[in-house]
Structure 1
Amino acid sequence: MNKRNIKLLIIITLIIISLFFIIFFPISIWIDSLLLWINQNHKLSSIIYILIYLFSCIFLVPVSIITLAGGFIFGLFQGIILASISSTLGATISFLLGRYLVKSWVQKKIINKHKIINQIMNKQDFITILLLRLIPAIPFGMLNYSLSITNISLKIFILSSWIGMLPITILYVYLGALADNLKNISEILLNPMSQNIFLFLGVTVTLLLVIYILAKAKKRLKKNYYKK
């Protein structure tokens, strides 16, 4: 059995297991119990959330779901603070690991296999990194390690990464918080129409703003680095 078939088999198995738990186990009750525990242990749950985020950053686990969970669990404002701190700290740890401990692995596994990274290796300014953070086509974790073997200073990396990641972080946390507010269908039906309209407009405006920022970032990168 080749690697592709093995991966497909693993994915199918995970889907079947997930469906089994959703159908035969009270997932909603577990979630409510988890949220209750979080409310009763607020400081500890915040620390656990940050640690999970850091682990995901270091081991290249996608963090979008974790960011969404931050909004769902902690609400909009605290979710943004925790997710922003976690993503910036996780990026910084990955950067330091790539620079001082796993440099050869980064060169072999990431840099040599991704053309876009090769094209920006000599462009190490603040604006470049900020724009790269706004491009979803470049995975968050991969970019952290890739930039670690450039000559960029740690200070510039942290500042540009924090600012560049903030719009996407706010969007994901906002959607997570919105999901928490609307998780009960009966609540949606009981809400006045005006509230639903404002919620819809809020999501729409947020999405349009992020799409606009991403389009501008992509255009700027193409203009600066892909013209011959």
Structure 2
Amino acid sequence: MDLAEFEQAIENFIGHAGLWAPLLFIMLHLIRPLLFLPVIAVCIAGGFLFGFFQGAILSFIGLTLMSYISYMMINKFPRFRSKLAALKDKWFPDRNLTVSQVMILRVMPFVHFHLLSFYLMEMTNTRREYMYYSALGLIAPAILYTAFGRAISEFPWYTTLSMFLLLAAIFSFIDKWQSRKHKLDKT
């Protein structure tokens, strides 16, 4: 089977699945962590299967629901919370991230989804506030991964590395800016 036949088979499946196709795709986002699939892979699939606009919306819905489930799991299972706290101490020791930094990290393809949810939980006071910032931070990855995911995955390694370094520089800039702002607020 060549690529054209594969694409035709996928289009036929989606055409026959009707309303079930988007629901199954959203469910894929929810079981993604159990299948060890990266967020970017599922969003790329959404762009391929549903097109940019519908794929981005479905990915946003799936990621937002996954954020809500993360919130519930972290609050319900103390062992899960302690594992995330240990992971936080390992990856970002003695560092308090801002909401802006978490949003930038959401765009980086291989940063742990639940760890970032944990950070947001620590920064917010209510579930509503958490969901607001979480949803806001999921808009960019849903759009970028759906629209540019395939292109990013096909870039040469040095282009991908350059994009990662650019995001890291923005992250660092926000960290330094927040530190200066915090020092000025103290004086």
Settle same-fold status: TM greater than 0.5: yes
Scaled by the length of structure 1, the TM-score of the pair is 0.60
Percentage of pairs with the same residue:
21
Query: Does residue 73 of the first structure (1) align with residue 49 of the second (2)?
Result: yes
Give RMSD over aligned pairs: 3.4
Counterpart pick for 1:221 among 168, 175, 179: 175
Structure 1 residues 35, 104: CA separation in 2 closer, same or farther (over 3 Å shift)?
A: same
Counterpart pick for 1:132 among 82, 89, 102: 102
The aligned amino acid for 2:135 is W
* TM-aligned CA deviation for residue 178 of structure 1: 7.4
Query: Does residue 42 of the first structure (1) align with residue 18 of the second (2)?
Result: yes
Aligned partners of 2:43 and 2:146 also within 8 Å:
yes
Scaled by the length of structure 2, the TM-score of the pair is 0.71
Number of residue equivalences: 167
Q: Which has the larger radius of gyration?
A: 1
Structure 2: 5+ residue stretches without partners: 153-161
Q: Deviations over 1:44-75 (max 9, x none)?
A: 00000000101125776421100111111101
Which residue in 2 is equivalent to 1:161? Answer: 134
Aligned partners of 1:99 and 1:149 also within 8 Å:
no
Query: Does residue 96 of the first structure (1) align with residue 72 of the second (2)?
Result: yes
Query: Does residue 114 of the first structure (1) align with residue 84 of the second (2)?
Result: no
Which residue in 1 is equivalent to 2:144? Answer: 171
* TM-aligned CA deviation for residue 142 of structure 1: 2.5
Structure 1 residues 177, 119: CA separation in 2 closer, same or farther (over 3 Å shift)?
A: closer
Query: Does residue 105 of the first structure (1) align with residue 83 of the second (2)?
Result: no
The aligned amino acid for 1:131 is Q
Structure 1 residues 65, 31: CA separation in 2 closer, same or farther (over 3 Å shift)?
A: same
- Please give the alpha-carbon distance, in whole angstroms, between the structure 1 residues aligned to 2:81 and 2:33: 14
Q: Deviations over 1:155-194 (max 9, x none)?
A: 1111111112212221111125879xxxxxxxxxxxxxxx
- Secondary structure of the equivalent of 1:172? helix
* TM-aligned CA deviation for residue 138 of structure 1: 3.4
Structure 1 residues 178, 220: CA separation in 2 closer, same or farther (over 3 Å shift)?
A: closer
Aligned partners of 2:73 and 2:80 also within 8 Å:
no
